[in-house]
Amino acid sequence: MASEEQISAIKIDMDTIEVSNLNRQFLFRQSHVGQSKAKVARDAVLRFRPNISITPYHANVKESRFNVDFYKEFDVVLNGLDNLDARRHVNRLCLAADVPLVESGTTGFLGQVTVHLKGKTECYECQAKPAPKTYPVCTITSTPSKFVHCIVWAKDLLFAKLFGDKNLENDLNVRSSDATNLSEHSEDVFECRKGEDIEQYGRRIYDHVFGHNIEVALSNEETWKNRNKPCAIYSKDVFPDKLTKENGKTEKGSTTEDVSAMASLGLKNPQDVWSLAENSRVFYESLRLFFSKRQKEIGNLTFDKDDQLAVEFVTAAANIRASSFGIPLHSLFEAKGIAGNIVHAVATTNAIIAGLIVIEAIKVLKKDSNNYRMTYCLEHPSKKLLLMPVEPYEPNKSCYVCSETPLSLEVNTHHSKLRDFVEKIVKAKLGMNFPVIMSGASIIYEVGEDLEEDMVAIYAANLEKALSELPSPVISGTVLTVEDLQQEFSCRINIKHREEFDEEKEPDGMLLSGRVEAPVDKNSNKPIGNGESTSSALSTEEIQEGERDVEIQETSESAENVTGKKRKLSEVSKGSIPDHSGLPDESSRNQNQLEKLDVDDEDDELIISNDWESLTKKKRL
């Protein structure tokens, strides 16, 4: 690209730089730890491309200031977000603003880049997405909001640091913006010091990870502008003066398999949710038992869900951290179920996907629509190639966001509250952030910054009422209109009363099915579709589950139902790749890895570009 061209871009990222980012995010250096990713990335890029304009935002992409008018300023949006909810949000704003979206994601050795243009290709939500199973590193170490974040922290960071290979890189210290303090308080902090007994060691570790590190995190004020602040917890506040008097002792004849902090402390039911004090006692007791009964294993341990003592330690540590961040505590039984395999980021995969993002962005800016590709990075080669390009899919007629579609909800209108409908359907299933719910001409619920206090109180009261008891009763035959004004997304839901639900198969106590109508063009009063499609409607089961992986959809739909060269990846993997690739995929191993695709990044960023007119004059890459 010519050096004189004027390129303008905006980068939005809510994260700050962690030590663990440095091995794969190559714009960042040790001195940047604790600083805004968006701002540091801008400065790094300007050093080798000084004539471009980049505006960094250290912010959440879902903030109200990033509205449809904001998106309309740009020529293309490049997405690398770390969660499904944010991706849905950006997809809807790009549709409303009619701005092309280049989506991307990686997990381990897998990754993909997809292109989405309104009316020409499917939108990001034309196919239901699997629930994300990877977790952003920065969220784990700095700003956990879910209990699973605490489990990952306790299992993959704290447990590994205390009992695993000491030579493996592992940084538990949440950093402040002062890079000069990087090594302070952290050198050998996890090593048992000379002359230190197990009680002193346990208290020191407890105070460091649950007290000192939290205070360091709090010192980075910018991080907590729009978040609830955690509280530091110290051993003196939860432990008795002498731990050995309070905690139990194991029997001398107990084997490694029998060693249990729960048994030692007289805690019998694994489905009980322990208090902070009980979790603290289990934390110390399990630490003591590892050092007294399993000393020879320390340095070589890895977490095993069948290792009772390991599960007890991780449960206790996760619950203490959850308590600090105001997250509900969980039982050992629940924690054991949550603890699963975490796929770590691979720098080379990130680099490959980043390059593919740029290639597709240039095609979009050159309006080279005939050569758009959805490219998938595989873990195992297909004919010696790791990249599988396919043509973009056509818009899905059954899409609940960009096509004209109806919805139906079966619900017990006498028992289900409005709150259940808002949380389980409007937010969880439809992905709305600032919903307005109307029954006829009456507004029964609304979220917004400009609401009067009396209206806020009325809507809050409505949340606790059964649907049939609302001021405008919602009963069988009622048609609700649900809108998100920020996303410019609207749908109508036909209500059907149903008395009973199978608690095991239908735990929500309500069943969503059918389709969602597209937003209406304010000028023509006609629904805004997303082009033609031969795709069949989503089944009730698919919408109910909502988060299913249909990027590689296993259905009975034949290839004849897909026009032109467009193919599902499940078809491609079983036969041959389209003409632009010409490479047959004969490996069942690749079929398995394709089914894992459509993945999220572990980091959260959004880049929006404009003023790229000069690029359209360049030759294709």
Please report, in range form, the residues annotated as the binding site for Zn(2+). Answer: 123, 126, 399, 402
- Are the C-beta atoms of 365 and 612 separated by less than 8 Å? yes
341 contacts: CB under 8 Å, gap ≥ 6: none
Which residues are within 8 A (CB) of 380 and not within 5 positions of it... i.e. 6 or more apart?
587, 589, 590, 593
Strand ordering across the sheet containing 101-107: 53-57, 8-12, 605-610, 76-80, 101-107, 110-116, 374-382, 385-390
DSSP secondary structure letter of residue 63: S
Stated as kind and residue range, the H or E segment containing 608 is: strand 605-610
Q: What is the DSSP secondary-structure string of 578-593?
A: -TTT--B---HHHHHH
Angle in degrees, 0-180, between the axes of helices 198-207 and 276-293, rounded to the nearest 10: 130
CA–CA distances in Å: residue 585 to residues 90, 114, 141, 373, 386: 33, 20, 40, 18, 11
In whole angstroms, give the CA distance from residue 578 to residue 181: 55
Cβ(578)–Cβ(390) below 8 Å: yes
How far does Cα 588 stand from its chain's mean position? 29
172, 141 in Cβ contact below 8 A?
yes
Residue 239's alpha-carbon distances to 209, 277, 323, 325, 359, in angstroms, are: 15, 7, 15, 19, 57
Of 138, 150, 377, 491, which one is the catalytic site residue?
138
Residue 312: half-sphere exposure toward Cβ, Cα within 13 Å: 27
* Residue 138 is among the residues annotated as catalytic for this protein: yes
| Orientation of helix 308-324 relative to helix 276-293, angle to 10° | 140
Query: Which residues fall in the annotated binding site for ATP?
Result: 13, 21-24, 37, 82-87
Q: Which two tokens stand for residue 169?
A: 């890189």
Secondary structure of 535-557 as H, E, C letters = CCCCCHHHHHHCCCCCCCCCCCC
Side chain identity at residue 420, one-letter code: D
Query: Rounded distance, CA 33 to CA 246, Å?
Result: 41
Residues in the annotated binding site: 13, 21-24, 37, 82-87, 123, 126, 399, 402
Nearest-angstrom CA–CA distance, 110 and 173: 29
Residues known to be catalytic: 138
